[in-house]
Amino acid sequence: MLTCDVLDCHNAPDLDAFSHAFVMTRAAELLALQQRINPIQLANIASSLRSNIPSTIPALVAAEANRPVLSKVMGGMNVHLEILFDDNVAWIARFQRTTDDKGDHILVNEELDTMGIIDWEWSKVVTKSFAFAAPIMLLPLAFDEGDNQLTEDEEELAKVFESLGRPDMTLCVRGGRVYHHISFILHKGDRPDACKPQMKGFYQLPGNESWEWETWRSDALQMYQTEPVLQGLLGKSRSTN
């Protein structure tokens, strides 16, 4: 049992009991959702979308009536089942676990039949170069310090695109560091100290090795001193400090 030594603070719950209750509640929820699924109808719908190639839902066919088989939570809000076709192609059927939807992700036809579902969460419209910069998982640890050197993995990805005859995608990867910096700067924009390394890396890309934060800040304030939006933001900042 964890306890809190803050005055008038309630004791924290028993973590073992909480974990057990969480597992049991989640299992009951998944089982209830699972029992609402008609595996034959689901397989028929999937087959109709692939030239009537027969399909099955292996997990539901083999499932015990009282054991949940829905698994692999997606984004914390969804679970899925595998649909297996006779030609060994596998699809994923996705089921929502939440009522947190507004209907704008559901595509329907003129008869209001559901034709598809698109998860727009975290989606955005960006340029091609931004979209196809190397994924952040390939960035070096030194990126947090403003490093602009491409990693071996990034170079390998660029070579793969070259081998596929896509020099445009190769350029996106090799020129993607600027967009990595922009993403991090925008994410940390409310914490200037946190984005200083990315600001430095951003300005050093074109060869401005002598860039310094304080110099840039002073020059920017001077350059945009008559900009009303900036002055409004600075005024708000001063009033809260």
As for how many domains the chain has, the answer is 2
Token code pair at residue 17? 């009991």
pLDDT at 35 over 60: yes
Position 209 scores a pLDDT of 75
pLDDT at 55 over 70: yes
Residue 28 lies in a domain: yes
Close Cβ partners of 90 (under 8 Å, ≥ 6 residues apart)? 82, 83, 84
Does 72 lie in the same domain as 138?
no
Does 210 lie in the same domain as 159?
yes
Does 213 lie in the same domain as 134?
yes
Does 89 lie in the same domain as 160?
no
Three-state secondary structure string covering 96-143: ECCCCCCCCCEEECCCCCEEEECCCCCCCCCCHHHHCCCCHHHCCHHH
Distance CA 55, CA 87 (A): 9
pLDDT at 32 over 50: yes
pLDDT at 77 over 50: yes
Residue 55 lies in a domain: yes
Does 69 lie in the same domain as 136?
no
Residue 228 lies in a domain: no
169: confidence class by pLDDT, cuts 50, 70, 90: very high
pLDDT at 79 over 50: yes
33: confidence class by pLDDT, cuts 50, 70, 90: confident
Domain enclosing residue 78, as ranges: 15-98
Residue 240 lies in a domain: no
Point out the domain boundary residue: 78, 98, 118: 98
Residue 137 lies in a domain: yes
141: confidence class by pLDDT, cuts 50, 70, 90: confident
Does 133 lie in the same domain as 91?
no
Residue 48 lies in a domain: yes
Residue 32 lies in a domain: yes
pLDDT, tens only, 196-230: 888 888 988 877 777 888 888 888 888 888 888 87
